[in-house]
Structure 1
Amino acid sequence: MNQFFLSEINIYPIKSLGGLSLQEAKLEEKGLQYDRRWMLVDEKGMFITQRKHAELALLQVNICNGKLIVSHKTLPGLSTSFSMDEDTGEQISVEIWNDMVNAIEVNKIVSDWFSDFLKFKVRLVKMPLTEKRLVDRDYAQNNEVVSFADGYPCLLIGQSSLNELNGKLPEPVLMDRFRPNFVFTGGEAHVEDSFKDFFIGEVLFSAVKPCSRCILITIDQQTGFKGQEPLKTLASYRKIGNKIMFGQNLLHQQTGTICVGDEIKVVSWNK
């Protein structure tokens, strides 16, 4: 019988910037603590991602002494930082996909830093603790809420799934292309497609929807270079209808602490 163990925990504090790998993390109502709680928006309040601005891949985020530190991966002198508690106090309305959400600008100085980097005016905003952005009602089970993630609190991918993909590619890619929160070992490729309800450690999750992939996975997260792979190859064997699937979107039934090395115990399977 297969055993599954958690091998990676990743968070992405600022949406579409570089992620952080953790050994343990706290799971809160909206997802992992600090995951996608900040986001860049343009002058109209529309969210900004690597899909149109691949250079965001070159900005790495770290957490140190209550601050978020943003630095350039290849230009060491280019950086900014701010307190994780900092904001202007002024709520503004921002748009992410089909949702209108209340947000608060962090401060003008850090917004100007990002504007200089992107060469157009943007603001860095954070999600207030009181904000309730609902998960898609077609898949929600109990009025779950989500941060600035695309649609669901957490994303799970099996290492075997990436290994199979890399076996088909001319050049292998790293897991960071797919921006998962959880990576696990064990089982065959895409075994996560058959997970329904399962525990990671002591926390119960449900896999509710395969994750459809877009051009973002064609961006090398180390260089910012955009190519055709691995989307082209994935389309040859992971297309369902007109969507290319890789990974599972999750909802969680409770909060708690999750650690690398935790066993994943499947309670029920999708047929």
Structure 2
Amino acid sequence: MGAALGLPASRLPAQPRAAWLAAAALGLAAVALGAAAWRRARPRRPRRLQQVGTVQQLCIYPVKSCKGVAVSEAECTALGLRSGHLRDRFWMVTKKGGHTVTARQEPRLVLVSVTCEDDYLIFRAPGMDQLILPSKMPSSHTVHDCRLSGLDIKGRDCGDEAAQWFTNFLKTEALRLVQFEKNMKTRLSRKIFPAIRQSYQVAYPDCGPVMILSEASLVDLNTRLEKKVKMENFRPNIVVTGCEAFEEDTWDELLIGNVEMKKVLACPRCIMTTVDPDTGVIDRKEPLETLKSYRLCDPSEKHIFKSSPLFGNYYFVEKVGSLRVGDPVYRMVQ
């Protein structure tokens, strides 16, 4: 009653004053909670879309270091591109101890092609009979502990026939082919590159689930080379046309189809780029040396990239969806 008469709270009797203060606190808490809920429910400020190019090519590399498969459309999952049973870098070759074997060590891996028919993968390589494997390995096959870029990851064994096929083709020590399964534990981006602020999942790709490169950047590089190189030397998932050379370095958030992606890191290049995709012969010099002459990182980033030149960019997927060749590539600007 005292509050109704307009008396100050300090002059209220002890019990009513405590009740009044409690009610006031509850009221303030309700207001705060309501404001927080409103902020959560309030839609994010719409981002302006600026078209920066068009998708010229989509490519899935089912087996790490082997040939890519060009597709006209693809699902874009959190772990990379997918078309039917073909998933980007969901298979890899390993040697004793589960250590990964790539074209850096065995350049002729780039001559192995993979296609999919019904529920089977068909592997082909020069001088070899084709190898046919089910797209999903039986659960009775062993799951191996593998090692990729210094980190542990699992892989289900693809059987003795596949192991012998790769061993015979490369004429090397005993090899195994393993398959990643989506219920297996992935590698965390921050453990691959501590400089990456965003935390996302990575299966068998080197650094990120999607790699983007522009046609203009390749054209620019080839003007500086005596022997021209192909896009296959760089193995991007998405090739963009209709932009300036290295314009992709400025793209942060992208919308392609209904897929939203965010840039996480420029792609540091290694001797893998010097493997001729048509012959499987490693040069160890070009185009790497030319890239080093004009594509080194800013000195402030040398602790991240060291002496590796940068060519293309890695993205992680913020919103999964589908995309196709011919889709506009939009930069999302706040």
Is residue 238 of structure 1 aligned with residue 290 of structure 2? no
Q: CA deviation at 1:2?
A: 6.2
Q: Are 1:13 and 2:62 an aligned pair?
A: yes
* 1:7-35 CA-partner distances (Å, limit 9, x unpaired): 01001101111110000011122111211
CA–CA separation in structure 1 for the residues paired with 2:81 and 2:238 = 10
Q: Name the structure where helix makes up a greater proportion of residues.
A: 2
SS at match of 2:103: coil
> 1:4-153 alignment to 2 at 5 Å?
4-33=53-82, 34-72=87-125, 74-75=126-127, 77-87=128-138, 88-118=140-170, 119-137=172-190, 138=194, 139=196, 141=198, 143-153=199-209
Query: 1:105, CA displacement in angstroms?
Result: 0.1
Aligned amino acid, residue 101 of structure 1: I
More off after superposition, 56-65 vs 173-182? 56-65
Report deviation, 1:140. 5.2
* Aligned residues between the structures: 266
Question: Identity, % of aligned pairs?
Answer: 30
CA distance in 2, matches of 1:214, 1:35: 20
Cα separation, 1, equivalents of 2:330 and 2:51: 10
Measured at CA, do residues 22 and 169 of structure 1 come closer, stay the same or move farther in structure 2, by a change above 3 Å?
same
Q: Which amino acid aligns with 1:158?
A: S
Q: Does 1:180 align with 2:180?
A: no
Using the alignment, how far apart are the partners of 2:320 and 2:332 within structure 1?
18
Equivalent position of 2:47 in the other structure: none
**Take 1:116 and 1:69, find their aligned partners in 2: how far apart are those partners?**
17
Question: Cα RMSD over matched residues?
Answer: 1.6
Provide the TM-score with structure 2 as the length reference. 0.76
**2:34: which partner in 1?**
none
The structure with the greater share of residues assigned to strand is 1
Amino acid at match of 1:50: A
Secondary structure of 1:116's partner?
helix
Confirm or deny that 1:158 pairs with 2:210. no
| Alignment partners' CA distance in 1, 2:222 and 2:188 | 32
TM normalised by structure 1 equals 0.93
Structure 1 letter corresponding to 2:56: S
Structure 2's unaligned 5+ residue stretches are: 1-49
Within 5 Å, which residues of 2 pair with 1:195-214? Answer: 195-214=251-270
5+ long unaligned stretches in structure 1: none
